[in-house]
Amino acid sequence: MISKFFDARIITKNKDITSQAGVLLSSGSLTIPVSLLFYSDKKSMTKYSRIQFSSEMDLKWKDEFVIQDIKTKQELGRGIILAPVFEGILKKEKKKKIDYLKKLSGSSEGMLQALTCEKGIQGISERELVEITGISEAELRELSQILEAKGDVMIFSFSPLFLLSRESFEYLCSRIVLFIEKYHRKNPRETGVSRNHLKSRFKVPDNVLLLAVEALIKNKKIKYSNENLAVIDFNVEITPEEEKILKEMEIMTLKGELQSVSMEELQERFRLSSKRVNQLLSILIERKKIVQGQDGFILHSSWLEELIQKIRDSDKAELSVLEFKQMTGLTRKYAIPLLELLDQIGITRRVGTKHKIL
């Protein structure tokens, strides 16, 4: 990878060398002036150092080099390139830097795990890995599968390869929960955080964020609430007046025209914004009082349960729109969206012009 900074392990000939400027780095046919910043001043022959070039260079993992005195050309030590210096490693404590570099000094597996961890929740791509290491794509995939089997990394795609450390994924999940909890404290009357808001806060690849959300839902840490995300035990703050409106909504839904009611009717009756109507409807949905279809079609849960039982008791294998209208007494205006809702929740499945009863 092209960079002005590289980390390296250097075995010096003089253990008293702790910092050095104005030296030469020689690797293959390349000889250039560099400066060294040692991460440790221990009296050891093996040192870990940041190497700075005057211009960007392209060196790979474990490329070998020699350090020479710029005046006498005397050899001061030999070393291997470990990795370009990421922003994070510049800010690490010395001990953490050295631990990280020791991992890069070892096997290919250890190197891959260390690089993936260092990239944090951003993950690391195949392009970056090839540029840093010079290792072939096939070998990188093989190493990744070994680390995934051990539970150290997660493979989000194979072609091109994209990795995230398990530790970073768990950290991302914990940060998402904390972020949603904080949002609830500031917005107790909101149902939760929108997916777009979450995406703007955590600038990670879409598939990483999606998997993190799915994992948190599966582990019952968060839930969907009116298409927003909320922590599992969160309830929207409701005033006594709004509790009365909720009850009226439920009654209106049950007694509305042929057991259905539109969003516009609710807004007009209660003089609420569409946003607040949706928030209150989501509460009724969570309380299992109503069911809402994808097109906004709303039904009372008890009426829908009765209808489903009626369909199952009919001994029919399938229903046409006409048969369904006759069974329910609904006009075509309501029969079609209700059939679509039954398809949506898995009671029926559309086959041609009819709906097969499952």
CA atoms of 211 and 245, how far apart (whole Å) = 37
- Report yes or no: 17 and 23 within 8 Å, Cβ to Cβ: no
Q: What is residue 258's predicted lDDT score, i.e. its pLDDT?
A: 39
Residue 261 in domain: yes
Give bridge partners of residue 69 from the DSSP assignment: 23
- Report yes or no: 81 and 1 within 8 Å, Cβ to Cβ: no
The pLDDT of 76-94, averaged and rounded, is 75
pLDDT above 60: residue 335: yes
Token look-up 């991992």 returns 103
**263 vs 268, higher pLDDT:** 268
Residue 289 in domain: yes
Residues 222, 253: one domain? no
Confidence of residue 18 (pLDDT cuts 50, 70, 90): low
CA atoms of 76 and 68, how far apart (whole Å) = 5
Q: Which of 41, 73, 91 corresponds to the end of one domain?
A: 91
Provide the residue type at 8 as one letter: A
pLDDT above 80: residue 260: no
Q: What is residue 92's predicted lDDT score, i.e. its pLDDT?
A: 60
Residue 237's Cβ-count burial label (10 Å; 0-12, 13-18, 19+) is exposed
Residues 334, 257: one domain? yes
Residue 142 in domain: no
**264 vs 110, higher pLDDT:** 110
pLDDT above 90: residue 266: no
DSSP string, 43-62: S-SEEEEEEEEEEEEE--TT
Give bridge partners of residue 193 from the DSSP assignment: 229
Residue 158 in domain: no
Residues 227, 263: one domain? no
pLDDT above 70: residue 293: no
Q: What is residue 332's predicted lDDT score, i.e. its pLDDT?
A: 77
Q: Which of 266, 273, 331, 262 is nearest to 297 (CA)?
A: 262
For the ranges 33-47, 73-87, 99-113, the lowest mean pLDDT is seen at 33-47
CATH number at residue 198: 1.10.10.10
The pLDDT of 73-78, averaged and rounded, is 88
CATH number at residue 79: 2.40.30.10
Question: What would the pLDDT profile of 158-201 be if each residue is shown by its tens digit?
Answer: 989 999 999 999 999 999 999 999 999 999 988 899 999 999 99
Residues 85, 181: one domain? no
pLDDT above 50: residue 145: yes
pLDDT above 60: residue 273: yes
- Report yes or no: 82 and 61 within 8 Å, Cβ to Cβ: yes
Q: Which of 91, 123, 147 corresponds to the end of one domain?
A: 91
Residue 121 in domain: no
CA atoms of 17 and 67, how far apart (whole Å) = 12
Question: What would the pLDDT profile of 233-251 be if each residue is shown by its tens digit?
Answer: 998 888 888 888 888 887 8
Could you tell me how many residues make up the chain?
358
Q: Which of 91, 112, 127 corresponds to the end of one domain?
A: 91
CA atoms of 257 and 230, how far apart (whole Å) = 33
Confidence of residue 90 (pLDDT cuts 50, 70, 90): low
Give me the half-sphere count of Cα atoms (radius 13 Å) on the Cβ side of residue 164: 22
Among 54-68, 142-156, 285-299, which range has the highest average pLDDT? 142-156
pLDDT above 80: residue 352: yes
pTM, full prediction: 0.71
Q: Which domain holds residue 176?
A: 168-231
Residue 10 in domain: yes
Q: What is residue 91's predicted lDDT score, i.e. its pLDDT?
A: 55
**Phi, psi dihedrals of residue 348, rounded to the nearest 5°:** -130, 170
Q: What is residue 261's predicted lDDT score, i.e. its pLDDT?
A: 65
The pLDDT of 272-276, averaged and rounded, is 83
Q: Beta-carbon neighbour count of residue 322 at 10 Å?
A: 10
For the ranges 190-194, 290-294, 331-335, the lowest mean pLDDT is seen at 290-294
Number of domains making up the chain: 3
